[in-house]
Amino acid sequence: MQTVSPIEKDSPSLRIFFGDVRKMSANEVANGEVALIMTSPPYYNAPFDYPGLFADYEEYLDLLRTFAAQSKRVLGKGRICAIVTDDMLVRQEKRGRGKKYPIVADTTKIFVEEGFQYRDRITWVKPTGYTRISRRSGVVLQHPYPMYFYTDNIQESILLFQNGTFDYEQLKSLRPEVLEKSRIDTSRLNSENWNMSVWNITNVLPKSGRVEEGVAAFPEEIPRRLIKLFTLSGETVFDPFLGSGTTLKVASELGRKGIGYEMDLELKKVIRKKLALSRKRIGPSHLMEEKAGARKLCKTLQTNIRRQRSVTMGDKRKSFRASISPL
């Protein structure tokens, strides 16, 4: 078995830190204590979620490099880091066209360079009626000639990286009840096609008033599958970009411990609500702490999004040419 750190032995079942994960230390998450990282980093400067969060793409890649190094440090030997991410189309300047950034390829390169094995890539497909896609395919309908074709994106990647070789002998020395509790329901796995490299899962629908409003949350079904497939009952799942707290909600429901890191202090209320954590319940089994780099982010981003939307609408009204922009 991997060395169990003192933090892990007596730690609360939920630990949530508000701070910049780049500044995380072993006092918060110990070396090798995590069985699965389940996360989704910010989507670069995604127009609907994070416009202007990063000064440029290099700053974003730096965040990914630190995230990879931190992941290597906290993950147990042979364990998995699962990352939900996607290439991102970002408008360059006011009336400019979008530029597509190869985030999936760059994330893969960075994790492999950090010493992870590239284990798998699952394609998460959303329903075709997905409401937040930009209708780039409309360009070829307006101009049915070669070179006007762009796709409407209804997919994301779930990247799986492995921290060295897993020792399956560990499973043989487990208490039988722990192994039994961790058994995977293979009839469900087969009937829902978990074994396939394409997962059809409905996204979190952008209804107003939902608890995750303003957060690019993934659906619970993604962490539910991956936590069952890659952790034993009682082990620890870590989400370094916690957002609304989806990973920890599911981890808790499945009898796993959870650790989350989130920079945005404005999400404290959202996380409490999603995890049904009243102030009273922050006790020995739950820990919430503010660390270096925590800041208020949500409202600033919402203002940027509104500004970006009004620029887009303004452009469309002013100029027919804007309507053939693929962004």
Ligand X SMILES: C[S@@+](CC[C@H](N)C(=O)[O-])C[C@H]1O[C@@H](n2cnc3c(N)ncnc32)[C@H](O)[C@@H]1O
Q: Which residues bind ligand X (CB under 6 A)?
A: 20-22, 40, 42, 63, 212, 215-218, 241, 243-244, 246, 261-264, 267, 297
Whole-number CA gyration radius for the chain: 21
> Smallest distance from the beta carbon of 288 to ligand X, in angstroms?
15
Whether residue 160 contacts residue 204, with contact meaning beta carbons closer than 8 Å, is answered with no
Give the residue with the Cβ less far from ligand X, 74 or 182.
74
Q: How far is the CB of 297 from ligand X (least distance, A)?
A: 5
> Two tokens at 120?
């798998």
Between residues 34 and 325, which has the closer beta carbon with respect to ligand X? 34
Smallest gap from Cβ 248 to ligand X, in A, equals 10
> Smaller CB distance to ligand X: residue 60 or 150?
60
Question: 39 vs 108, which CB is nearer to ligand X?
Answer: 39
Q: Fill in the amino acid letter for 53.
A: L
DSSP E strand boundaries for 194-268: 198-200, 236-239, 257-262
Of 88 and 263, the one with the shorter C-beta distance to ligand X is 263
CB of 307 to ligand X, least distance (A): 19
**Cβ-proximal residue to ligand X, closest one:** 243
What SS3 class is residue 261? Answer: strand
- CA proximity to 21, closest of 84, 68, 79: 68
**What are the beta bridge partners of residue 84?**
158
What 8-state DSSP symbol labels residue 240?
A: S
Q: Which is nearer to ligand X, 297 or 325 (CB)?
A: 297
CB of 290 to ligand X, least distance (A): 12
How far apart CA 89 and CA 134 sit, in angstroms, is 10
The answer to whether residues 299 and 38 touch, using CB atoms and an 8 Å cutoff, is: no
d(CA 18, CA 263): 5
CA torsion angle for 236, 78, 262, 197 (degrees, to 10)?
-100
Nearest-approach distance from CB 247 to ligand X, in angstroms = 6
C-beta closer to ligand X: residue 262 or 325: 262
Q: DSSP characters for 149-172? A: --PPP-EEEEEEEE-S---THHHH
Q: At its nearest, how many Å lie between ligand X and the CB of residue 132?
A: 13
- Can you tell me which residue has the tokens 């994070």? 50
